[in-house]
């Protein structure tokens, strides 16, 4: 996506916004152990994921032994979306991915506050937001609402308010989808999406 956005930056203005979605909504706060064989370095799926990550200059760390409960991480992303015009939300998501998938950390309070610091967010305000039960409940409800709308996997991409596709794609697919989204927007000039 980022490659496609960079290549079209003179034609389009992009704003990435992340929404909460829980792949495993029933994970308890302490996490849940991986099933046997999950993350096995000899598993073709694991090898594929590591290869793709490596081709992008990323490390996919297999030292984690459990699925994390990511509600606090999603709460931090919601907080970032609502401060400074949401300008830091994309950076927050990238740092959360690094802490989880490269550094093999659970996305609990300490990791989330480290990300807030790394992104220049007010740590105390972020902490208050993350620990507020009403905010955590709102994040879970919002995540569940995406499931109710038929989202069943990540990433799922909406462009100008239109669901476009799910799953990782090559840059050329993104370029074409950006063009289609722009065409749809031009068809509705008064649209606020």
Q: What domains sit in the chain, N to C, each tagged with a CATH number?
A: 1-17+151-193 (no CATH), 22-146 (3.40.30.10)
Can you give the pLDDT at residue 188?
58
Record the pTM. Answer: 0.86
Helices 109-118 + 123-131 axis angle, to 10: 150
The predicted model gives 30-55 an average pLDDT of 83
Look at residue 164 and give its three-state secondary structure.
strand
In tens, the pLDDT along 146-192 reads: 999 989 888 999 998 888 888 888 899 999 999 999 988 876 544 44
Look at residue 108 and give its three-state secondary structure.
coil
Can you give the pLDDT at residue 72?
97
The answer to whether the CB of 96 falls within 8 A of the CB of 119 is no
What is the dihedral angle through the alpha carbons of 124, 127, 131, 135, rounded to the nearest 10 degrees? Answer: 100
pLDDT of 56 > 50? The answer is yes
In tens, the pLDDT along 72-122 reads: 999 999 999 999 899 999 999 999 999 998 898 989 999 999 999 999 999
Rounded Cα–Cα distance for residues 78 and 91 (Å):
13
Rounded Cα–Cα distance for residues 27 and 73 (Å):
14
Look at residue 22 and give its three-state secondary structure.
coil
């Amino acid at each position: 996506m980022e490659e496609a956005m960079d290549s079209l930056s003179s034609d389009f203005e992009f704003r990435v916004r992340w929404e909460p979605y829980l792949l495993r909504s029933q994970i308890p706060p302490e996490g849940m152990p991986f099933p046997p064989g999950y993350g096995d370095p000899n598993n073709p799926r694991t090898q594929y994921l590591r290869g793709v990550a490596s081709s992008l200059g990323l490390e996919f760390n297999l030292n984690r032994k459990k699925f994390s409960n990511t509600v606090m991480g999603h709460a931090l992303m919601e907080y970032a979306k609502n401060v400074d015009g949401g300008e830091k939300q994309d950076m927050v998501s990238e740092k959360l991915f690094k802490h989880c998938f490269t550094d093999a950390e659970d996305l609990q309070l300490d990791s989330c506050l480290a990300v807030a610091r790394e992104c220049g967010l007010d740590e105390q305000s972020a902490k208050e937001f993350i620990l507020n039960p009403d905010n955590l409940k709102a994040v879970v409800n919002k995540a569940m609402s995406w499931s109710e709308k038929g989202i069943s996997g990540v990433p799922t991409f909406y462009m100008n308010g239109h669901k476009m596709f799910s799953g990782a794609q090559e840059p050329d697919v993104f370029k074409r989808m950006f063009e289609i989204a722009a065409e749809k927007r031009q068809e509705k000039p008064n649209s606020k999406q």
